[in-house]
A = this chain, B = another copy of it.
């Protein structure tokens, strides 16, 4: 879980996930194209995403195909965001009242 949050903290890695979301099963070389970054930098990012289980990999000869795994993101939504979502309207009301200086 911590690895997932840390992996998502970087804009480049979120962009890589976006690209995989659009076209799944890309090779490292394909993912590098047009990213103002060296191939090795992209490889490191993908390794971090892979360690966080956000990206799964299949070797095909000399190529390495990368696939988006949406499960950890789903887990965030379910286990962590859901907790705050449930109380969202209540919290918003409390927040407004509290910032105005009254007690709820």
Contacts and interface: CB of A to CB of B under 8 A. Distances in A.
Interface in A11-49: 11, 14, 17, 21, 24-25
Taken together, the copies of this chain in the complex come to 2
A51 interface: no
Contacts of A84: 17, 21, 68, 70, 73-74
Interface residues of A, number: 38
A44 B87 CA distance: 26
A9 B11 contact: no
Interface in A79-93: 80-81, 83-85, 87-88, 91-92
Nearest to A103: B25
Contacts of A88: 70-71, 74
